[in-house]
Amino acid sequence: MHRQVTNTRVAINISTSLYTLINIKSFEIEKCNLDKNKRIS
């Protein structure tokens, strides 16, 4: 039972980290696109 709880916690930590990484990446991409648009106009 205890091992199950630990595994769940690890899985939650991993998915949270992945979610954060994906958000940061997409934020950087959006910023990059905004900069490109500013340069064009």
Q: What is the pLDDT of residues 4-34, one digit of tens each?
A: 889 999 999 999 999 999 999 999 999 999 9
Give the model's pLDDT for residue 2. Answer: 76
Cα 18 from Cα 25, distance rounded (Å) = 10
Give the model's pLDDT for residue 16. Answer: 97
Give the model's pLDDT for residue 1. Answer: 62
pTM above the 0.85 mark?
A: no
pLDDT at 41 over 90: no
Give the model's pLDDT for residue 32. Answer: 94
Taking 3-state DSSP, the helix, strand and coil percentages for the chain, each rounded to the nearest 5, stand at: 95, 0, 5
